[in-house]
Amino acid sequence: MIDRWTIATIVAMALMTYLTRIGGYLVLAGRRLSPQVMIVLDAAPGCVLIAVIAPMFVSGRVADLIALGIAIIAAARLPLFSTVLIAMLSAAVMRHLIG
Amino acid sequence: MSDFKRGLRASTPVLIGLVPAALVLGAQATTKGIAPLAVPLMTGLNFAGGSEFAAIELWTSPPHLVLIAGVTLLINSRHLVMSAALAPWLRHLPRRQALPALFLMVDESWAMALADAKARGERMSARAFSMSYFLGLSAALYASWVAFSALGALIGPVLGDIQRWGLDMAFPAVFLALLRGMWKGLGAAMPWLVSLAVAAGTCLIVPGAWYVPAGALAGILTAWIMVRL
């Protein structure tokens, strides 16, 4: 069974997400956003994504850091699917070799 | 061919990336002690991959509701801009149709449906936006995301130690690829670098997952200061 905190957290997530999906349509649609606000709104998702994976950069595990470096190079050049495969493969190989 | 079918068909290249990501999401969820049934509940009600990966990364038992809801809001804040950009194309639809359809809006369906509308109508004509195309595309993405995340949760234990297979690296890789898609040069990426530095520093000093809001808010503040200068 699913405990009630799990359900409450999932419902809270769903509400937040739906709010963002209809928010722009309902609130921002009629108005013109200033270019400054657009730039800040544009930067926000990237700030969050990189903050979530920040611990990987300071994990201190050499195998993971090498794999992370390879993943960054792959992400810069390749589509999503290949990036994911290469990142997984390099992590598996590096951990096997270095530990 | 009907627009709905055309949308279904257009989903194929997206599914190549989406299916393995959904499997990994489900498998990772079970390693955090989330009940397998809760996985399709999350992916079906929330349906926003980035925030689901983040939620699972931050998951504890019991989960920190305020933190996870807040991070979900921050990660999906880009939807505000996306749905605002979509609004002029939905003018010909009543709200009772537009609001449920927006539940299905994800990066890929948003970008592809807009590109389709722009290809069909030279001018910004609301009627060029095909709701059937959007729904066909979205139906394929939604069904696959929910089904394969559930499958991932079921076969996750069979996959065994996820670290050994490098599966845990899939998640940072997805995020790095998303960041690549948002990349607009080093100058525009300054807020990201500040966010990374502050988050990394916070995670070394402060226990728990507070490094996410700390880094993200520092980054957004940097973006704000940069446009003010």
Q: What is the ipTM, given to two decimal places?
A: 0.84
User: How many residues can be counted in chain A?
Assistant: 99
In chain A, domain spans: 1-31, 35-99
Q: Which domain holds residue B188?
A: 184-229
- pLDDT tier, B159 (very low <50, low <70, confident <90, very high otherwise): low
Looking at the fold, whether B220 and B165 belong to one and the same domain comes out as no
Overall domain count for chain B: 2
For residue A46, the surrounding DSSP H or E stretch is helix A35-52
Q: Which residue from A8, A25, A58 is facing B87, i.e. has the nearest CB?
A: A25
Q: What is the mean pLDDT of residues A58-84?
A: 92
Looking at the fold, whether B122 and B26 belong to one and the same domain comes out as yes
Looking at the fold, whether B28 and B42 belong to one and the same domain comes out as yes
Q: Which residue from A5, A13, A22 is facing B55, i.e. has the nearest CB?
A: A13
Looking at the fold, whether B116 and B206 belong to one and the same domain comes out as no
Looking at the fold, whether B159 and B228 belong to one and the same domain comes out as no
Indicate yes or no: CB of B73 within 8 angstroms of CB of A19.
yes
- pLDDT tier, B50 (very low <50, low <70, confident <90, very high otherwise): confident
Chain A hits for B212, CB-CB cut-off 8 Å, are: 48, 51-52
Looking at the fold, whether B114 and B208 belong to one and the same domain comes out as no
Query: Which of B14, B77, B97 has the most A C-beta neighbours within 10 Å, making it the best mutation to test the interface with A?
Result: B77
Model pLDDT for residues B178-207, shown as the tens digit of each residue: 788 778 899 889 999 999 999 999 999 988
B37 touching chain A per CB within 8 A: yes
Helix axis angle, B211-228 to B65-75, nearest 10°? 30
Chain A hits for B42, CB-CB cut-off 8 Å, are: 10, 13-14
Indicate yes or no: CB of A23 within 8 angstroms of CB of B79.
yes
What does the mean pLDDT of chain B come to?
88
Q: Which residue from B42, B65, B216 is facing A48, i.e. has the nearest CB?
A: B216
The pTM of the full predicted model, rounded to 2 decimals, is 0.74
DSSP code string of B129-162: S-HHHHHHHHHHHHHHHHHHHHHHHHHHHHH--T
